[in-house]
A = this chain, B = another copy of it.
C-alpha cells in the first residue's frame, strides 16, 4: 500500500533540497509549483494540459468552492478530483486568507470569522472545525490549517496576538482534521507559521506548530506587500528553525525570481495565480524576463515567444498571432498564454530540481537572475 504521506529528500545544495512527496494519489516532485485552480478549474486550461506542463499537484480555494458549488454538493458528486477531472493530489487552502481579503462586513472572534457571501449575501461562519470539514468534503489531499494571515505592516503586538490566535486555531485544525478518521488516513495536514516580520514571533510559531505536529509546514503572511527583500529576510531567519524532514510551503509566492530565491533558502512548495492570471491579461514569462504580448512590437514578429519552450503557443504559433489574439480579446489568447506561462513555471521548477541534484544551484540561480533581469525578449 502506498504511504499516506512520505517526504524523501534525495539531495541538498546549501539550504535547498530536492525530493519527492509520496501520496496515495501520486508523487509530488519538490521543489514543486502548484497551479491555482480557484473555483474547480485552472482557468482557461484542460486539466490534462496542466498535467502535461509537469504539474504534480493543484491548489483549490476553499473559500470559492464552499460558496459555489458548495462543499456538500462536491461531496455528493464524488469529490473535487472527480468533479474537476484531476486524479492527482490537490492541496486546498483553509479559506481564511480569502475571507479576509474578499469579503466585507466580516467579524473576527476567537471562534472564527463571520462574513457575508459575495455571491448572495448569506451570513456564513468559518471556523477551524468548519474549514477542516469543508476540506474533508472536498476530498483534499493536503489540508491547510485555518489561520489568520497577519496583515502587513503590523506592529509587533498586533502580529503577536494574530500569531497566537493562529496557533490556537492550528490546534483546533489538528483536532478537527483528526476527527475525520477516514479522510485523515489518506490526507495530510499542514500547519502555517505566522509572526509577521518578527524573528522571535516566527520562532515561537514554529515551536507551537512542531509541538502540535504536522505533515508539513507553510510560511504564511508573506507576499502581502512587504517586498522581495523583506520576504527573503524573513525566510533567512525563519527557515533554519523549520523542521528539516517535512516539506516547507511558501504560500502565494510568486514571481519567478521570488521562487528561485526561496528555493535557495529551503522552500519546497509554491503556489501563485501569477502564471494563470498573467496569461489572461497578456503577460508572458520568459527566461529573459516578463513580456507584454499586447505591445505593438510583436505585430509582425514571426518568431515564437520562446523557441526553446515546448508549449503549443511556442511550437505552433508566432508572437504576432498571440499578440493578435490578445489584442482582439480572443479566448484562445488566454488559453495559449496561460499554457505557456504554466510551462515556463514548471520548466523553472525542473531546472531548480536538476540544479540541486547536481549541486550547482548557485550557478543556475545566478544565471537565471542575470538572464531574467535583462528583460530582452529579442535575446530569446
Contacts and interface: CB of A to CB of B under 8 A. Distances in A.
Interface string A333-344: 011000000000
A276 to B, nearest CB: 10
A68 B328 contact: yes
Number of copies: 2
A226 to B, nearest CB: 31
Interface stretch (A72-80, A135-143, A251-259, A352-360): A72-80
A65 to B, nearest CB: 10
A325 B41 contact: yes
A39 B331 CA distance: 11
Q: Which of A280, A316, A321, A332 has the most CB of B within 10 A?
A: A332
Contacts of A46: 312, 332, 335
Given A44-B335, A332-B44, A77 B39 contact: no
A240 interface: no
Contacts of A321: 40, 77, 83-85
A9 interface: no
A130 interface: no
A120 B138 CA distance: 49
Nearest to A312: B46
A219 interface: no
Interface in A73-126: 73, 76-78, 83-85
Interface string A313-332: 00011101100110110111
Nearest to A64: B328
Q: How large is the interface on A (under 10, 10 to 19, 20 to 34, 35 or more residues)?
A: 35 or more
Interface string A40-51: 110111100000
A299 interface: yes
B73 A327 contact: no
Contacts of A69: 299, 320, 324
Nearest to A325: B41
Contacts of A85: 316-317, 321
Contacts of A376: none
A45 B300 contact: no
Nearest to A76: B300
Given A76-B300, A77-B302, A300-B73, A334 B331 contact: yes
Contacts of A39: 324, 328, 330
A300 B320 CA distance: 43
Given A46-B312, A317-B85, A325-B41, A73 B332 contact: no
Given A40-B321, A77-B320, 10 more contacts: A39-B330, A41-B325, A43-B330, A44-B331, A46-B332, A68-B324, A69-B299, A77-B302, A77-B321, A83-B324
6 contacts: A44-B335, A46-B335, A68-B324, A77-B321, A280-B331, A331-B334
